[in-house]
Structures are given as C-alpha cells and as structure tokens.
Structure 1
Amino acid sequence: MKLFFSVILLIFTYTASLAQSNSLNYYLDVAKTNSPLLKDLRNQIASNQIDSMRIKAGLRPQVAVNSAGLYAPVINGYGYSAAITNEHTLNGLLGVNQAIVGSKNVNEQVLTVSLQTQTFTNTIKISEQDLKKSITAQYITAYGSLQQYDFNKEIVDLLAKEDEVLKKLTRANVYRQSDYLSFLVTLKQAQLQLSQSRAQYKNDYATLNYLAGVTDTAMIAIAKPDIEKTVKVSPAQSIFFNQFKVDSLKLINSRRLLDFTYKPKINALADVGFNSDFTGQEYKNFGLSAGFTLSIPIYDGGQRKLAYKKLNLQEDTRQNYKTFFDMQYRQQRAQLNQQITENEALLAQVTDQMKYIESLIKVDTQLMQTGDLKIADLILAINNYLAVKNLFTQTTITGLQLTNQLNYWNK
C-alpha cells in the first residue's frame, strides 16, 4: 500500500511540474541579464567615457610642485667645478604647464574614443543576436523533445487502452495468444520510447538552463516558441554592416590624427617659488619665470608617407572583407528562404499523410473490437503513424530552426 501511494505521489509531482511553463522570452531575458560578455562590453563603454573625460582633463593647465637640492663640496681644492655645480643649490617651485592644442585636434582625439564606443555598442548588439540565436536554437530543440515525449505518451495511452480490449478478446478466443504477444511487444517498445524521450527532454532542458545561466534543476514544461519571420532590414541598416562603417571612420580619424602630429606644437609654462645657490642674500631669491616651448617638424625620413601607405592597405583590407561578407550575407539569406519554403511544402504533405493514418487507426481499433482485424495490420498502422508523427515533429522543429537562423540576419 505504501508503494502504491509513493508511485501516485511521484506521478502527481511529475505531472504538476510539467504543468508549469516558461516561455522563450523568459530564457532570453535571463540569458542577457546573466551574460558576463554583455556586462564586460557595457563596462568597456563606461571606461571609454572616462577616457574621453581624461583627454579633456589633460588639456587643462597642469600644476605641480617641484623641489630639488644639491650639495657638492670642494675640499682642499678637490671636487666638482663650482662654476658648474654652484656647490650648493636649493629650489622649490610651483610650476604650471599648458599645452596649446587646436580645437580640431581635440575633437579628433575625442572622436577616437567615441568611435571605439560605437564599436563596443555594435558588438553588444551582435553579441545579443548571437545569444538570442543560441538560446532560441536550444529552446526549439528542447521543445521538440517535449513534443516527442507528449506524442510517445499519447501512443502509450492509446496502446494501453487497446491492450485491455485485446486482452479480453484473446481470452474469448477471438484472437490468438501470439497475436496478443505481438501487440504487447509493440506496447513495451512504445513504453521504452517514452522513457527515452523523457530522458532526452530532461537533457535538452538542462542544457537550455545551462546556456541561460538558470540554476533551477527542476524539470518543467516549456511553452511553444512564438517564432515568426522578422522584417528584413537593408544592409545599410544592418548591425553586421555597421562595423564596416565604423572601421572606415576610424581610418579617416587615424589619418587626421597623423596629420596633427606634423603640426607645430607649443607649450606655455610658468613657475613661482624659491631658487638659490646660497651665495648671499638668499631671502631675495624668491621669484617667478615664464616661457614657452615650440616644436616644428621639418623632416622625419619619410615616415609620414609610409604611415599613409599603411592606412591605405587597411582601407583596402576593409573593402575586401565588406565585399566578401556582403556576398555571403545575401547568399545565406537566399538559401535560408529557399529552405524554409521547401520545409513548409514538406510539412503540408506530412500533415496530410498524418490525417489518413489517424483515420486508418480509428478504423482498425473499431474492427479489432469485432475481431475483424489482423493484429499485424494494427501494428503496421501504429508503426506508420509513429514514423509520420516523428517526421512531422522533425519538420516542424526544422522550420523553427530555419526561421531562427533567418531572423538572426534580420537585425
């Protein structure tokens, strides 16, 4: 009796757990929240904003306190030349240094950081697409396993119901014992397939939780994924082509920054404080000074032209990658659309075939009750139904997977 109630409790617990349901959007939201890559990229963007502020801060006057002291004794005429060392000196200065940089130069430096931020932003969008694709693909796989489990359970329930009828007919000598045993083998095989499909769903569901970062180990049912074709975007608006635009802007920015390195550079400087060699009246050695430094590039041995050639090569490489990717992008989309169309046609055929087999099984079960059916014919019909139903599930899941792959590129 205790064993009976334990089995009933186990079945109730399992049925109740499968009655719950998580949607695809739930796993997508959890995966985005848990993704360390997305968090890392967002931190990189925040870090770039700090770098931009540091560039502007570095262009403000730089103030520092500097102090130095020296004592070089001359003993009995031996020592460093006093004319060079002044024997003993001490200074303490408050200095200010201001780099004079044009606004265009500053803007280009800030633009460098801004373009890097755009790269990270676009990488986040692509990473989210990658994550969405992988999570959706595993969700579809798990849903297919669940559908297979539900179908196998339906078959086992059907066979179990017919088993009771056939058992009575066999006892009444309407069917032979060998007929019943053949049917019983089919029932046992169906029960085995049910156990296998349950284990497969459990594994696929655990993999889905693993990818999304869900730590819950309980096995529950998942809802049917609502996956439809998304609106096609032009390559000019696609996130996959946006990086090529950013790379082009980066090269232009690098060229302008290179030009600025060959512009004259000027720094203004000033200091105030104490600077003395202690030759007398040290209290009068408090003062101030101001000046500037100027640097004008004249000749660099041809490095500038070489840098231009390097940038030209990078632009050529960018164009080659863009052209090749554009070809792959269009070919991939065309291929996926073709596969989806063919899969939809196959699904319609399978659905049609399944209706005929379902009708045949209904007729066979009615004939069996009167003993006018060969058990071999019923078993053959059930096996055909299993094959077609499996094909229906596979074709449905294949269609969802193809749509998921197509939607990946529609962003």
Structure 2
Amino acid sequence: MLFLRTLLLLLLVFLKSIAAFSQESTNLAYFKKQAIENAPTLNENKNLLKSGEINNSIIDAQNNAFLVNATSEVSVAPYFNNNGQLIDVTTKPTTSAFGYDVGITNGGLYAAQVNVTKNLFNKAITGNLLFQNKILNNTISLSSEEITHTIIKNITDAYILAYQIQLQEEFTKGILKDLEKRLQVVELLTKRAIVMESDYLLLALDVDSKKLELQQIQINFNTAINQLHSLSGATIGTVKNLDAPDFENVAKPTQFFYQKRFENDSLQIIANQLVFENQYKPQVTAYANSGLNAVEIPNIYRRFGASAGLRLTIPIYDGKQRKYNAQQRILKEESLAFYKDNAKVLQTNNLSSIVQQINALDANMLLLDKQLDNQKRILEIYKGKLVQGQVSVVDYLNIIQNYKLNSYTKLQMQTNHWLLKSEYNFINW
C-alpha cells in the first residue's frame, strides 16, 4: 500500500512538471525573446557577419598569398609555298613564302608553364581593404541592433494593447458578476411586488448585454494574442493570462544610436576613399615561372627552363580623378553632418514632448482616481438602496454605466502611459 501511494505521488509530481513545462510563458520578456530568436533578418545578418569574417581571409589571400597557376598554349604559324612545299612550319621561310612575319611568330609557340606571383610591400593596401570590410561588418551589426530595437518596440506595444484587453475582460467580468448578484435580489423583490417586473427585465437585459460584450472582448483578446505570436514568429499557443508589462524608462545612454550610426557612416566614407587611393600606391609584384617554352618542335625537349623577375607599377596621371574623389568625400561628410544635427534636434524635441505627455497623464489619472473612488462609494450606496427597493434599476444602471466609462477612461490612460514609456525607451537610445 505504501509503495502504491508513493508511486501515485510521484506520478502526480511528474504530471504537474509536464504541465508546468508545457505551459507557455506569458510575460513580455518571453515574446521579446521569441521575436529576436525567430526574426529572419537578424538570422540573415548573423550569416552576413560570418561571411564578412571570411572576406577578411579572402582579402588577405588576394593581396599577400602566393598565387600559382598553370598555363598551356600551342600556336602554329605555317608558311605557304615555301621551297616548293604547300605548307611548311619553319623559322627560315623564303622570300616568296606566304605567312606571318617570322619576327612576330617564330613559326609558332609551344608552352606549358607553372606561374607564381606575389605582391610585395602592399601592407597599406591590404590594411585599407580590411578596414573597409570592418566598417561594412559594423554596418551590419548596427543594422541588427536597430532591427532588434524595433522588434522590441513593436512587441512591447502589441503586448500592452493585449494586456489592456485582458484588463477590460477582468473589469467586465467583475461588473457582470455583480449584476448577476443584483439580478437575483431584484428577482426576489419582484416576486414580493417591491420592484416592478419591468425593472427586473431591464436588469436582465443589461446582464445579457454584458455577456455579449464579454464574449467580444474575449474574441479581441485571442486576436491580440495571435498577433503577438505572429510578431514573435512563434506558433500560436494558448494564453490565459498576461503578466503586467514590466519595463521602466531606460537611462540616457553614453552614446545614442544615431551618433554611432553617423560615426560609422563617416568611417565608411573614409574607408571607401582609402580603398580608392590604393590604385595610386606603387605596387611591386614578384613573379616566376617554370616549364616548357619553345617556338619550334625540333629539340623541344631542351626548351624546359625557368624565369623570374620583379614588376613595378607607378601611377603618374589620372586626369585629376583623385582630386575630384576627395572633393566628393568632403561633400558627403558635410551632408552627414546636416543629418546628424537634425537627428539630435528631433530626438531632444521628441523626448521632451513625451515627458510632458507622461506628466500630464499622471496628473489626469490622479484626478480620475479621486472621481472613481467617489463613484465606487456612490455605487455601494445604490447597491444597498436597490435591494431595499429605494432606487430604480434605471438609476442603478446609470451609475454603473458612468463608473464603467470612467474606468475604461482610466484604463485607456494607463495604456497610453505604458505606450508613451515604450516610445520614450525607443527614442532614448
């Protein structure tokens, strides 16, 4: 018996663990995490960053590694009507023969070589290319940061709106529950002829109306939850209750995102300029080859050899392209400065405006709280008088309707307060 009880206890614990594990988290952090993990653009950017790291190796290989290739060529340049022969391959044609000048072709070419080349003294050129690639990777990282920030904002706003509907549902359930209790009392009063039957029917009608309203709110809540899952890129699941939105105003960052973005854009202009000017640096290339290189077939096996050398390239004149490119760079930097200054003003103004709106909402909610407290007291008084038949159902329903409207107004204010905080965090970044 003891063994059986222990087994049943363990089974219950196991089932509870499964239920707890399978139950979906319902807080804001969960949806944020899901959205960030499932965002295809963020996952694509991760691959782009990996590709950027690979590109560093490509740049290094292109500019510092030994490049080896094999070439092969067979070319025949015969002469016609040479010493009575219709076709003759020779390096000593007669003056009456027809064919290319022997000084150009030597009768042909037979080559099979392995070639090795390597750029020398190009550390600055490689450095400029790597710097440009680094800035490109930084651009991708900033893009991911901005996408993540926008995702969090969208999820937060959608979560707040879904939570607002949940609060509406809870409030309506409370009103409905109270009305149903009042309906039972009014039914008894009607049977005792203390309250008119029309009052009972009016209250019953309002109860039915609240039930329909509650059904619509629940439909809206399910739609909002589905929207949250869609924004999160997660499969739609069942959510019964949402936790209250948990976030505070973020502190002022040491460097705003727009500053980081403009700083990176400025470095991008510089990097592009440096890469453009790579072509004006003297370039030294070492080369070597070995293999077969012959112009006639007789004794071709003796024409295996090797050669090596250095090639120096020095740019001299490009029609002032370098000067014009530098002028364009200055104009681009000036344009960036214009946008940066404008972004600073807009951010300051927007943050100031949001703070003013939050302060105004706080003041209005304090006033509304006082009004709601008074309405609650009046509502309790009317409840007592209703069961005594001292007030009409119409008056009671009017009080409830006014209380409901003000409660919904307070709920909308609270929702706007959360949305403004979300907007503040979105901008103050």
The reply to whether TM is greater than 0.5 is yes
The reply to whether residue 54 of structure 1 matches residue 58 of structure 2 is yes
Cα deviation, residue 20, structure 1: 7.0
Query: What residue in structure 1 maps to residue 76 of structure 2?
Result: 71
**TM-score, with length taken from structure 1:** 0.91
Equivalent position to 2:266, from 248, 252, 257: 248
Q: Which residue of 2 aligns with 1:226?
A: 246
The 1-side partners of 2:149 and 2:133 are apart by 25
The percent identity for this pair of structures is 26
State how 1:352-391 maps to structure 2 within 5 Å.
352-391=370-409
CA distance in 1, matches of 2:282, 2:128: 17
1:233 and 1:292 map into 2 onto residues whose CA distance is 55
Are residues 72 and 20 of structure 1, via their aligned partners in 2, closer, same or farther at CA, if it must alter by over 3 Å?
A: closer
Where structure 1 has 5 or more consecutive residues not aligned to the other structure, the ranges are 1-18
Tell me which residue corresponds to 1:346. 364
1:397 is aligned with what amino acid?
A: T
Distance 2:265 2:422 in 1: 29
Q: Is the 8 A contact 1:367 1:373 kept in 2?
A: yes
Structure 2 letter corresponding to 1:277: V
Residue 191 (structure 2) aligns with:
171
- 2:46 corresponding residue in structure 1: 42
Structure 2: distance between partners of 1:249 and 1:297: 26
- Of structures 1 and 2, the larger Rg is shown by 2
Q: 1:28 aligns with which of 28, 32, 37?
A: 32
Shift of 1:85: 2.0
TM-aligned CA deviation for residue 21 of structure 1 = 5.3
Q: Matches of 2:353 and 2:148 in 1, distance apart? A: 23
Letter in 1 for 2:71: N
- The answer as to whether partners of 1:170 and 1:180 remain within 8 angstroms in 2 is yes
1:93–1:21 Cα change, 3 Å: closer
Deviations 1:92-118 (A, max 9, x none): 111111122432222111010001111
TM-score by length of structure 2 reads 0.87
2:148 to 128, 140, 151: 128
Query: Does 2:209 correspond to 1:209?
Result: no
What is the deviation of 1:150?
Answer: 1.1
Deviation by residue 1:142-188 (Cα, 9 ceiling, x = unmatched): 01011111111111111011100001101111111222222223222
Equivalenced residue count is 392
Distance in structure 2 (CA, Å) of the matches to 1:314 and 1:101:
31
C-alpha separation in 1, matches of 2:301 and 2:207: 111
Q: Supply the AA of the counterpart residue of 1:289.
A: S
Task: Decide whether the 8 Å contact of 2:24 with 2:237 is kept in 1.
Answer: no
The answer to whether residue 292 in structure 2 is matched with residue 274 in structure 1 is yes
- Aligned partner of 2:283 in structure 1 is 265
Q: For the structure 1 residues 70 and 130, does the alpha-carbon distance in structure 2 shift closer, same or farther, using more than 3 Å as the test?
A: same
Alignment partners' CA distance in 2, 1:219 and 1:74: 91
What's 1:11 paired with?
none
List alignment gaps of at least 5 residues for structure 2: 1-22, 82-96
For 1:252 and 1:391, how far apart are their aligned partners in 2? 54
Is 1:109 paired with 2:113? no
Question: Deviations along 1:59-111, whole A, 9 cap, x unmatched?
Answer: 21211111111122223233333332222321111111112243222211101
How far apart, in 2, do the equivalents of 1:190 and 1:94 lie?
89
Kindly state the Cα deviation for residue 226 of structure 1 after the two structures are TM-superposed.
0.7
RMSD of aligned C-alpha atoms?
Answer: 1.8
Once residues 208 and 388 of structure 1 are traced to their aligned partners in structure 2, the CA distance between those partners, rounded to angstroms, is 28
Matched letter for residue 75 of structure 2: L
Aligned counterpart, 2:84: none
